[in-house]
Structure 1
Amino acid sequence: MTNVVLILADDLGFSDLGCYGGEIDTPHLDRLGREGVRMSAFYNTARCSPSRASLLTGRHPHETGVGILNDDQRPWGYPGSLDPAVPTVAERFREAGYATCLSGKWHLSAQTEVPDETWPTRRGFDEFHGILGGAGDYFHPRALYTGEERQPIPGDGYYFTDAVGRHAADFVARQAGAGTPFFLYLAFTAPHWPLHAPAEDVRRYEGRYDEGWDTLRQRRFERLAAEGLVGGDAVLSPRDAGEPAWVDTEHQEWQARRMSVYAAQVTAMDRAVGHVLSTVEEAGVADDTLVVFLSDNGASAEDLPPFDAPKFRERQPSHTVDGAPMRIGNEPDIAPGAADTFASYGRAWANLSNTPFRLYKRWVHEGGIATPVLVSWPAGALANGTVVDTPHQLTDVLPTLLDAAGLAAPAGPGTSMLPEWRGDPGHGEHTLFWEHIGNAAVRRGRWKIVRETSGPWELYDLVADRAEQHDLAAGRPALVAELATAWQRWADEVGVISWETIRAH
């Protein structure tokens, strides 16, 4: 039987990995991508919880109860918990005799204190080690669980990314040793804020970001083109209009430090992935193990404290474990990285992470929804060393994993990607849909319409203009109307709740 390892990064930008043009050290993921299959046009759903809901169920997030985040907004909004009536991929694998494990972040339960039917241990996972909420302290997580038992706050020497990697590797070793097929969902919080990383990981990036975001965006774009991950007609979107040129930026040393810590978080994640992959190889099951890596949304431009998160202060620690005040925010006098800081890396660096696209997490322009995808399966007859350009989205993951395992997929919107991964045309063109906090989009073939909240529809030819620089809506009104009608029909079918209704409360 085919083992499955599904790896999810949190807030990783399209071009952060080395094999997607980045200057961050990611040797294990780079080997996975270059020796396997990469995808250039795969999409998530723009935000943490909805992406996880769609990834694990093969449904659009609105159908699962998780339309925005894990807040219960009823009666006027979404429940914020994964609907028990919608089966997860873990439940389907467990029914087929697989051992199942989640190591990392859940973020699909509104109730995070008292176990209920929405917890991972009751949604198909035999084992769970990690956090139920959206983010937290990497060095001393306050709400760490093993199974349904809350753990003591870890002491010095602990780092969440390393810990969930070790737990995942231990699970693999135990199941492979017992001859049991396994499904591992390794869901990192890295590189989501706060900017926390071991000092030795940060030191390796000293000086690397001194040239600034403008130079580095251009270099990433050139490497993306060389890797075959953007078309020959592609252009680099201009720097975010709200951010200064690097030469005009104040506090450059502090700014470079912010990106250095972010990069260190990505490298730590790569190290943890490497630990799991080496365990798979040492156990002698690498040939029969399908590994898929992707990100839950584009890079995050969120400031700290977030302007639209009234519960942020009550959910994040105000003091360190030894009682010192937590230094929260993005100020030049707060050098991020250490356990007493709580910071993010800012819009300009997120713009770098999303090269060559514009906009970020929460938006459904390319910068918010485009994700790297790496696939490895030595015995799977994949077209190794190739890049798949066919557009797909998260609803296609569950049927693909079940297809690889020889299991029947339930009826749903998704299609298996195995044909494309094997070098075949696959199922042909299918229409992709998005909605998140009023941001909406449709992609059909080369054409994409997209809008921000209640703004007008924009139209882009993504084959010629993946960076969404030339709005063609005025010249193609019939096409815009056709796709907009399709979007509204889809929104009605999946239960999209009007953002205006939710925002009014």
Structure 2
Amino acid sequence: MGFSDIGCYGSEIQTPNLDRLAANGLRFSQFYNGARCCPTRASLLTGLHPHQTGIGHMSYGTYPEGTNPEGYANDLNDRCATIAQVLKPAGYATYCVGKWHVASDTAADGSKHNWPLQRGFDKYYGMIGGAGSFYDPTKLCRDNALITPVNDPDYQPAGKYYFTEAVTDNALMYLKQHDADKPFFIYVAYTAAHWPMHALERDIAKYKGMYDEGYEVIRQVRLEKTKKLGLIDPYSTLSPAPGAWEDQPNKAWEARCMEVYAAMIDCMDQGIGKITAELERQGQLDNTLILFLQDNGACDETLGRTDNKKWHLKGIKPMGPDELQTKTWPPMRTRDGRPVLGGPDIMPGAEDTYVSYGRNWANVSNTPFREYKHFVHEGGISTPLIAFWPKGIAARGGITHQPGHIIDIMATCVDLAGAPYPQGKILPMEGVSLKPVFEGKKLKNRILYWEHEGNRAIRDGDWKLVAKGWNSSWELFNLKDDRTEMNNLVGKFPERSAAMEKQWLEHAERTHILPWPWGPYGRD
């Protein structure tokens, strides 16, 4: 999801429950994730930089023979502990629902050493991998067993199975079963609005016609709203747009893509409302810290945006109730035996479609920033962070412009729980507790770092040095004056740029970004 995809950060999408949390909590305007799902989740769960956990890239992949992939093992290593592993000995019940995606082995008969229950969680329901159909999720899992939507004895919805609703319903199940005498930590990892664009028709209907005027109109409205909310400076300008609405030959299809995307977020917000309502019913809402954030910026990937003849499977049969859906993307079939198709002749939303919403809408989602998921310009790493905690946050409806980082989530949870952090083999936390920010205080200045697939950045105060790929030159921006990264100052401040590059290299050596498995990082 992009920076401006929820109402309280500038969107037209209906997110009343998140907006309510923001109105009674604290919004961060400069909080950062790790640019992509696996690295972000590894950092969120452990409080370390992703390469320190072994997931500097993804939870899968191979490397050239003879390389040293210590930072790229595709698996959480034994030198990190998850939030659940730290809070559980302190008396917390621990629950995980939704996307996991930090284990290299997801086979039914494989090693489960990095599945949620082996990483500190008492109960788990969700997608042990990373993506797939919302109607028949890939690698659907309960506790330590792979299941299907139809053979799960613990959850059978009254209507059509839809993963976003299943995440909500199972989170509610765990909260209702929870022993009220114990504190709890619950990690609710929705997959909305990851491709494919799947949503329920009742939710899509709310957005019918809303996007018929195209990218430019929506983006401009979001820009003005985000400025009015005080989340970005009033002089901020838009980053360049990748395409124009008037040039699109399939406008009805393009509009439908965004209608479905909006519906996916809407359904997630409905679920968040049900969870908060359950906490309120139990009398726990005021004393529960709720953090909402995204794992990367909006996605410009093009899967399913052209018709692929290989997807047109013939002679396929329905799947049995115990037959696992193992395919993350097409060619694949629905559980009742239809091929799953994409391209501009396929209107997204239903279970036999597989479409992503494309770069132009991702650019709208990331208003006003540059780039997308995977990159470490602001569009790839800037996330809303809503912190809601009536008993612990005084500034109701406030906004903080202090920078924060995904590594801070673990430190915050450990601090508030009063839990002892493991010593010895486990690496010390890299993040800082956000509790002082909740109390209206200032954090000490620190340097923030990123790397993903050669995209790299360092932020020191208002200065950010960033590069797009190993073979690209560094760019220098002053984010106080230029949050959209439009005015490259590297030529004007060569000494500062060189000093920051040196700092980044020292960090890269210390945290196992280097050596990089796919070749040398070109430097003197």
Partners of 1:115 and 1:148 within 8 A in 2: no
Partners of 2:25 and 2:395 within 8 A in 1: yes
Offset, 1:408: 4.2
| One-letter identity of the residue aligned with 2:505 | Q
Q: Does 1:80 align with 2:74?
A: yes
| One-letter identity of the residue aligned with 1:214 | E
- Work out which of the residue numbers 148, 151, 161 in structure 2 matches 1:152: 148
| One-letter identity of the residue aligned with 2:208 | E
TM alignment of 1:268-347, pairs within 5 A: 268-304=267-303, 315-317=328-330, 318-327=332-341, 329=342, 331-347=343-359
Q: What secondary structure is seen at the aligned counterpart in 2 of 1:473?
A: coil
Offset, 1:412: 2.5
- Work out which of the residue numbers 446, 462, 480 in structure 2 matches 1:446: 462
Calculate the aligned-residue CA RMSD, in Å: 1.9
Offset, 1:128: 0.4
Q: Which moved more, 1:145-154 or 1:255-264?
A: 145-154
What residue number does 2:317 align with? none
Q: What secondary structure is seen at the aligned counterpart in 2 of 1:40?
A: strand
Offset, 1:314: 5.4
Q: What secondary structure is seen at the aligned counterpart in 1 of 2:94?
A: strand
Aligned partners of 1:21, 1:161: CA distance in 2, in Å? Answer: 23
What residue number does 2:197 align with? 195
Offset, 1:500: 6.4
What residue number does 2:450 align with? 434
Runs of 4+ in 1 over 4 A off after TM superposition: none
Structure 1 unaligned blocks of 5 or more: 1-11
What residue number does 1:231 align with? 233
Aligned partners of 2:396, 2:199: CA distance in 1, in Å? Answer: 33
Partners of 2:298 and 2:373 within 8 A in 1: yes
- Work out which of the residue numbers 419, 431, 440 in structure 1 matches 2:436: 419
Q: What secondary structure is seen at the aligned counterpart in 2 of 1:287?
A: helix
Offset, 1:405: 1.9
Offset, 1:257: 0.1
CA deviations 1:167-202 (Å, max 9, x no partner) are 112212222x53221000000111000110001111
Offset, 1:265: 0.4
Aligned partners of 1:211, 1:24: CA distance in 2, in Å? Answer: 15
TM-score (norm 1): 0.92
TM alignment of 1:8-407, pairs within 5 A: 12-73=1-62, 76=67, 77=69, 78-113=72-107, 114-154=110-150, 157-175=160-178, 177-240=179-242, 243=243, 245-304=244-303, 315-317=328-330, 318-327=332-341, 329=342, 331-407=343-419
Aligned partners of 1:207, 1:138: CA distance in 2, in Å? Answer: 24
| One-letter identity of the residue aligned with 2:455 | N
CA deviations 1:249-278 (Å, max 9, x no partner) are 221111000000000000011011111110
- Work out which of the residue numbers 489, 492, 509 in structure 2 matches 1:475: 492
Structure 2 unaligned blocks of 5 or more: 151-155, 312-325, 423-427
| One-letter identity of the residue aligned with 2:467 | R
Aligned partners of 1:133, 1:64: CA distance in 2, in Å? Answer: 18
- Work out which of the residue numbers 452, 460, 466 in structure 1 matches 2:477: 460
Aligned partners of 2:254, 2:519: CA distance in 1, in Å? Answer: 36
Aligned partners of 1:503, 1:255: CA distance in 2, in Å? Answer: 41
Q: What secondary structure is seen at the aligned counterpart in 1 of 2:496?
A: helix
Evaluate the alpha carbon distance shift between residue 287 and residue 277 of structure 1 in structure 2; reply closer, same or farther with a 3 A threshold: same
| One-letter identity of the residue aligned with 1:446 | D
| One-letter identity of the residue aligned with 2:194 | H
Q: What secondary structure is seen at the aligned counterpart in 2 of 1:342?
A: coil
Number of paired residues? 482
Q: What secondary structure is seen at the aligned counterpart in 2 of 1:102?
A: strand
CA deviations 1:132-161 (Å, max 9, x no partner) are 111011012242111012213438710100
Partners of 2:222 and 2:367 within 8 A in 1: yes
**Same amino acid, percent of matched pairs:** 43
Partners of 2:24 and 2:390 within 8 A in 1: no
Q: Which moved more, 1:349-358 or 1:318-327?
A: 318-327
Offset, 1:232: 3.0
Aligned partners of 2:47, 2:34: CA distance in 1, in Å? Answer: 12
Q: What secondary structure is seen at the aligned counterpart in 1 of 2:78?
A: coil
Which protein has the larger Cα radius of gyration, Structure 1 or Structure 2?
2
CA deviations 1:443-466 (Å, max 9, x no partner) are 011100000112111000101100
Aligned partners of 1:314, 1:398: CA distance in 2, in Å? Answer: 32
